[in-house]
Copies of this chain bind each other. A is one copy, B any other.
Amino acid sequence: MVAQRGRRNGAAAHKRTGSRRGPDADNAPTAELPAVTENGADPEARVKAIPEAAVARMAVYLRILSAMAEQGGTTVSSEELSAAAGVNSAKLRKDLSYIGSYGTRGVGYEVQVLIGQIERTLGLTRQHRVAVVGIGNLGHALANYGGFPGRGFPVEALFDIDPDLIGVPVGGVPVSHLDDIPVVCAERQISIGVIATPPAAAQTVCDRLVAGGVQCILNFAPVVLQVPEHVEVRKVDLAVELQILSFHVARRADNKVNGQVVEDPIPGAADEGVVMPS
């Protein structure tokens, strides 16, 4: 086979990931309209390719904006908003530019307008029914989160395999059996499945959720799920988070051997010095 890739954002190109699956997908471009990317003066801005990273930040901006609105704020500058979100203003403006131009030069953004636009972009104008699988400690916590973040994500189904739990209502929703996942999810039009089971059960549960028509999965189990192409998976992995922090602790200790912290590490290196922070 000769090289057939490296297609610079050209026109005709099936945006396919070489192999059959790509669960990783942490950086895939967001839209995939082959040739028809035009979106001129459409009153309803067509969803262009918003970088995945920007989408994640939008959610943060949204929360901050909501808080500001609640406190009576009516306008914000990119400087203010970005500071509250912990990013720099250029990034904030760039992010917002992906969804349109809703600011006023010399003034800033209108809080309400921005909230509306971000909500629209994130698809928050519709409901996304959620199912939580695995009603252990974590599942309980999730189920009781009550409608999840603000409304928009009602928990409509719970599942577990423990006979003692079946039928018991948690947070107002009765627990069903794992075996019923496909049926119940289909019936209740679940669009997001949350997996909070032990790792061993995760893949099976995932398969059933998919069978039930669930399109998106939020996985708390420390397992890499295999899913069909059309299903979106996000992973929240406590162990990974802690280990990343561990890495930083270790790195820091190494860089600190002299009691001096440096921004740019010096190729001086040190052994695995065990330095305790003072």
A38 to B21, CA, bound (A): 35
Q: Which of A126, A137, A140 has the most CB of B within 10 A?
A: A126
Q: Does A56 contact B (CB under 8 A)?
A: yes
Identify which of A160-168, A172-180, A232-240 touches chain B: A232-240
Q: How would you classify the secondary structure of chain A's contact residues: helix, strand, loop or mixed? A: loop
Nearest CB on B from A17, distance (A): 8
Instruction: Assess the B122–A247 pair: CB atoms within 8 A.
Output: yes
Contact digits for A64-83, partner B, Cβ 8 Å, 1 yes 0 no: 10000000000000010011
This chain: copies in complex: 2
Contact digits for A102-141, partner B, Cβ 8 Å, 1 yes 0 no: 0000000000100110011111111111100000111011
With A57-B24, A137-B144 as given contacts, are A125 and B244 in contact (CB-CB < 8 Å)? no
Q: Does A4 contact B (CB under 8 A)?
A: yes
Q: Does A169 contact B (CB under 8 A)?
A: no
Q: Which of A46, A55, A124, A269 has the most CB of B within 10 A?
A: A269
Nearest CB on B from A203, distance (A): 12
A269 to B123, CA, bound (A): 11
Nearest CB on B from A205, distance (A): 17
Instruction: Assess the B213–A62 pair: CB atoms within 8 A.
Output: no
With A123-B249, A126-B250, A269-B127 as given contacts, are A57 and B22 in contact (CB-CB < 8 Å)? yes
Nearest CB on B from A257, distance (A): 9
A121 touches which of B34, B148, B236, B247 (Cβ 8 Å): B247
Q: List 17 contacting pairs A-B, 8 Å CB cutoff, sorted by A.
A: A22-B57, A23-B59, A30-B251, A31-B265, A34-B270, A37-B272, A44-B272, A50-B247, A123-B251, A125-B274, A128-B246, A129-B264, A130-B242, A142-B238, A149-B243, A151-B278, A215-B277
Q: A22-B88, A192-B242, A234-B241 are in contact. List 4 more A-B contacts (CB 8 A).
A: A24-B56, A31-B255, A85-B224, A191-B264
